[in-house]
Amino acid sequence: MTSKPLNAGNAGNAGNAGNAGNVGRPVGGDSERVRNQLLDAARQHFLDRDFKAVSLRQIADTAGVNPAMVKYYFGGKRGLYLAMVDSMLRQLEERLSALPRGAEISVSEFIHGYTALLAANPWWPNFIVREVLFGDGELREEVIGKFMQHIGPRLIGRVEEEITLGNYRDNLDPSLAVISLLGVTLFPFIAAPIIGRIFKRELGPDDVNELAQHNTALFLQGVLAGPSPGATS
Amino acid sequence: MTSKPLNAGNAGNAGNAGNAGNVGRPVGGDSERVRNQLLDAARQHFLDRDFKAVSLRQIADTAGVNPAMVKYYFGGKRGLYLAMVDSMLRQLEERLSALPRGAEISVSEFIHGYTALLAANPWWPNFIVREVLFGDGELREEVIGKFMQHIGPRLIGRVEEEITLGNYRDNLDPSLAVISLLGVTLFPFIAAPIIGRIFKRELGPDDVNELAQHNTALFLQGVLAGPSPGATS
DNA sequence: TAATTAATTAAACATATAATTAATTAAAAG
DNA sequence: CTTTTAATTAATTATATGTTTAATTAATTA
């Protein structure tokens, strides 16, 4: 510990947030509120920018608290991030378990449910794609585990069942079918930022139903004209 | 220009790359080679990590040159990145224009072509997704413009044509159909890192044909069993 | 009421990074 | 052959960031 001063003399305004100057324990102290403000701010920033692209100071600014509170409440930037991820995943799990499921629901209901869920939580595909594709590896594992262990196999089982029942072609590969199903369901939201630009189509909240209907029809009937059974028109 | 020294006295080893010590213009000077080495190294790093997550030192290390060469040849980190993006896009445009096209090719050929292209350049979907979803905005515009102005409308036109010809259902929404087509085609590669984990399926180079065939069949016929015209089995 | 603990800010610290500059050597031009 | 230009490295600069600490004030406890 030689402790030679390197950059002494700067300091000053490094993101004067919220109650600047009010040093010391605040009067109507609600520590839970500060914690949640930090979580909210973290959500806002992390959901559309990379972990490294977001600075503690930015989060603290948005939350209106001092950057040191991140250490105080979450141990550091990483801790805050993990806490945020956790709260997100728990929220999503709630929504997921509220969706209709079981053997009796139709693919249409399934697609409609997930499409509506995605439309209501547009952060989800973005976040998952970012975590899974560009994550450091640790969070990646966690996210994959928490999400896909349940959803993936359940979907595959469902498709296998339909094949056994004779409802789906028996030359259908169940896992590829599920990948396709996820593709048509997720991709519009993954690509949302550019869809409007390219396709002159916004996919706003009103179009969600139309999208779900389209996906259902495509998945079930494909695009071919002719004597396809069960036309929706 | 007060020029007060802040952190004088460190220096030392900050990524001693390649020909360390060899100061001055090298003897068999091939400046084009250095330029390309930098581009290659940039590609390697930027294609699987974020812009901010990659440091100039890392790139210079991989390239085996001094970090200052980045400034010399490309003006800075950003310049190198843009040059790399440009070379990538030009390479991809070549491959794209080499694909079969025109009025006479089938959807099957189309899907097979793009799937093979993606399989041969797995960096493409990753890169595009990252740029488009999480980019700063400037590169985003450029990428969208360069890619999608051509591909998107062309695909939509194709689908409209097929509807007019009576080959596709006339209740089909062309832009949604193209979004779906892109979804089934791109998503497996976007999700490649997790597909093996969840679906016990690797999507290696051998499975590409199978995937393309599956996508073609799904897009055309859907999954339903029964009297579907033109079964592939 | 006195002592301790909780919550908060401002400031300092350490480190990493992109950018720049100065020195240095080879090649090219005159 | 001399001068200028090109290419390269080492060192410096400036800045941004996550973390830590010290001071400060309110709440809690003894």
pLDDT value for B8: 31
What is the pLDDT of chain B when averaged over all its residues?
A: 79
- Each residue of A145-197: pLDDT tens digit? 766 666 777 778 888 888 898 888 899 999 899 899 989 999 998 888 778 77
Helix, strand or coil, per DSSP, at residue B168: strand
Cβ–Cβ gap A225/B169 under 8 Å: yes
For residue B5, is it left (φ>0), alpha (ψ between -120 and 50) or beta? beta
Higher-pLDDT residue of B20, A183: A183
Q: Is the pLDDT of residue B104 over 60?
A: no
Give the Cα separation of A46 and A58 in Å (integer). Answer: 11
Q: How many CA atoms lie within 13 A of A58 on its CB side?
A: 13
Give the Cα separation of A127 and A143 in Å (integer). Answer: 10
Reported as a pLDDT band with limits 50, 70 and 90, residue A137 is low
Q: Does A50 touch chain B (CB under 8 A)?
A: yes
In chain B, pLDDT over 90 holds for what percent of residues? 28
- Each residue of B107-156: pLDDT tens digit? 788 788 888 888 888 788 888 788 777 776 666 776 677 666 667 777 78
Phi, psi at residue B196, to the nearest 5°?
A: -60, -40
Q: Tell me what the mean pLDDT of segment B88-107 comes to.
A: 72
What is the pLDDT of chain A when averaged over all its residues?
A: 79
Residues 56-95, chain A: which have Cβ within 8 Å of B? none
Q: What is the C-alpha R_g of chain B?
A: 23
Higher-pLDDT residue of B223, B180: B180
Q: Distance of CA A146 to CAs A1, A86, B195, B205, Å?
A: 43, 10, 15, 29
Q: Out of A87-101, B70-84, B208-222, pick the least confident.
A: A87-101
Q: Which domains does chain B have, with CATH numbers?
A: 31-78 (1.10.10.60), 99-221 (1.10.357)
pLDDT value for A140: 73
Please tell me which of the candidates B129, B197, B217 has its beta carbon nearest to residue A144: B197
User: B173 CA, D1 C1': separation in Å?
Assistant: 78
pLDDT value for B140: 72
Chain C: nucleotides below 7 Å from protein CB are 6-27
Q: Which residues of A touch B214 (CB under 8 A)?
A: 173, 176-177, 180
pLDDT value for A11: 35
User: A101 CA, D3 C1': separation in Å?
Assistant: 83
